[in-house]
Structure 1
Amino acid sequence: MACPDPSRGVYLTYLIQALILLSVAYSLTAGEYFLGFSAGIAFLLTLVPSLMTRNMRLCLPWEVNLFIAVSLYLHVMGHVGGYYVLFAPYYDKLTHLVSSVTVALLAFFAAVLAEHQGDIRLTRAAIVIFILTFTLAAGAAWEIYEFTFDQTLGTDLQHGNTDTMVDLIVDLIGAVIVAIFAAIALAREERVQFIRLFADPSSNPGRGDVGGDPADPAEER
């Protein structure tokens, strides 16, 4: 499919990916092979959105790719650069905020895609609730992961109940930010045009233009 020409902002994503690769090289040369491996996995994860959307008739906005890259880079540098300890506890909360915004944007993208590609009809309230619940579920899963590693491998990822609860509150704040953005964006008259920014319009030719079928529930909300 032919997506619109990307904005110059896409080069910011390339820059972040290059910095992650530098983290990989630094970790390996310093003999920190596990950190190098983890940073390498993070770099590969930054490539997943492009690989998944390339042959799926989708156009993921470059801003979403940038958020994914930044959230992974912050996590990598938290360990490689020791920022989790050096700037504790603020750096950890920053990574949670950026990561939760990223997850919430992906949830928004998934909801928009489901409505555009299939027969699902979602109200604006349903999309907002989905963003909130999906992001909080992802945050809870991350806390379970940290707890499991601490209990089985003796790591020190969690620092008590207060730390865990503050992390989840920060996750909720990130979800609320995106939910508000989604509610405002979907309330605009250009709702259908906005939705089609995420996908190739030719992928669903049965759907009319914005001024097409007035009985379309997506346009009545």
Structure 2
Amino acid sequence: MACPSPSRGIYLTYFIQGLILLGALSSITAGEYFLGLSAGVAFLLTMAPSLMTRNLRLCLPWEVNLFIAVSLYLHVMGHIAGYYVSLAPYYDKVTHFVSSITVALLALFLAALAEHRGYVRLTTPAIIVFILVFTLAAGAVWEIYEFAVDQVFDMNLQHGNTDTMLDLIVDLAGAVIVACFTAIALGKEERQRFIRFFADPASGAEQTEVTDEHVQQARGR
């Protein structure tokens, strides 16, 4: 699959990735090796989608890559700059909100890809339910991770039942926004075009090339 030429927006993703890498280097220089290692892992995670989609011959929209980079950047800076503490509890909720939108977009991508490749035929309600369940499941796994880290390493990532429930509610809010966007997009007559755009951005580029070729042939006549 030949992916289309990347949009200029991809450079914004590169910029965010550079900030994460800079945070990792500054933490290591300051002797904060654990934070540096965490930021380094976050940087590698921002690279993972591009590498995976390239190896699997998929085309992930650059907007999704941007959301992934921003989500990880917010999480990294929350620890390196101490925003989780100095801007508590609002910074944590903003991070959860952006991350939930990111996860919901990934769920939409998986659903669109499955339908585009003919693996399964999904109705609009089924796609919406999948987005909501997938995002909430990811949020629940994250809360379990925080609980386990608190118990094993005696940290304070969770701040009681209220904080955990608010995190999940914010996760749900992000999922609902993406689900509503999906319902509107799939509710129009251009459902298949939207599925192809999200699961296979290259199809749009191929159609454009074909159209341009036809125009040139017509002019030559």
Q: 5+ unaligned residues in a row in structure 2: which ranges?
A: 204-221
Q: Partner of 1:138 in structure 2?
A: 138
Provide the secondary structure at the position in 1 that maps to 2:13: helix
1:73-95 residue CA offsets vs partner (Å, 9 max, x unmatched): 00000000100001000000000
RMSD between aligned alpha carbons?
1.4
Amino acid at match of 2:44: L
Paired with 2:90 and 2:119, the residues of 1 have a C-alpha distance of 43
- The answer as to 2:183 corresponding to 1:183 is yes
Superposed, which structure 2 residues align to 1:50-61 within 5 Å? 50-61=50-61
Q: Partner of 1:84 in structure 2?
A: 84
Superposed, which structure 2 residues align to 1:109-120 within 5 Å? 109-120=109-120
Paired with 1:147 and 1:16, the residues of 2 have a C-alpha distance of 29
Question: Percent identity over the alignment?
Answer: 75
Q: 5+ unaligned residues in a row in structure 1: which ranges?
A: 204-221
- The answer as to 2:65 corresponding to 1:62 is no
Paired with 2:58 and 2:90, the residues of 1 have a C-alpha distance of 36
TM-aligned CA deviation for residue 202 of structure 1: 8.8
TM-aligned CA deviation for residue 14 of structure 1: 0.3
Quick one: structure 1 residues 59 and 198, their matched pair in 2 at CA, closer, same or farther if it must change by over 3 Å?
farther
Amino acid at match of 1:133: V
Larger helix fraction of residues: 2
TM-aligned CA deviation for residue 200 of structure 1: 4.5
Provide the secondary structure at the position in 2 that maps to 1:136: helix
- The answer as to 2:19 corresponding to 1:19 is yes
CA contact (8 A) 1:59 1:197 kept: no
Paired with 2:202 and 2:137, the residues of 1 have a C-alpha distance of 34
Amino acid at match of 1:130: F
Please say which of residues 128-137 and 188-197 is displaced more in the overlay: 188-197
1:131-172 residue CA offsets vs partner (Å, 9 max, x unmatched): 000100000110011011111110000000100000000000
Provide the secondary structure at the position in 2 that maps to 1:36: helix
Count of aligned pairs: 203
What TM-score, normalized to structure 1?
A: 0.89
TM-aligned CA deviation for residue 40 of structure 1: 0.3
Superposed, which structure 2 residues align to 1:115-194 within 5 Å? 115-194=115-194
Amino acid at match of 1:108: L
Q: Partner of 2:10 in structure 1?
A: 10
Paired with 1:92 and 1:13, the residues of 2 have a C-alpha distance of 22
Provide the secondary structure at the position in 1 that maps to 2:44: helix
Paired with 1:16 and 1:30, the residues of 2 have a C-alpha distance of 21
What TM-score, normalized to structure 2?
A: 0.89
Quick one: structure 1 residues 152 and 124, their matched pair in 2 at CA, closer, same or farther if it must change by over 3 Å?
same
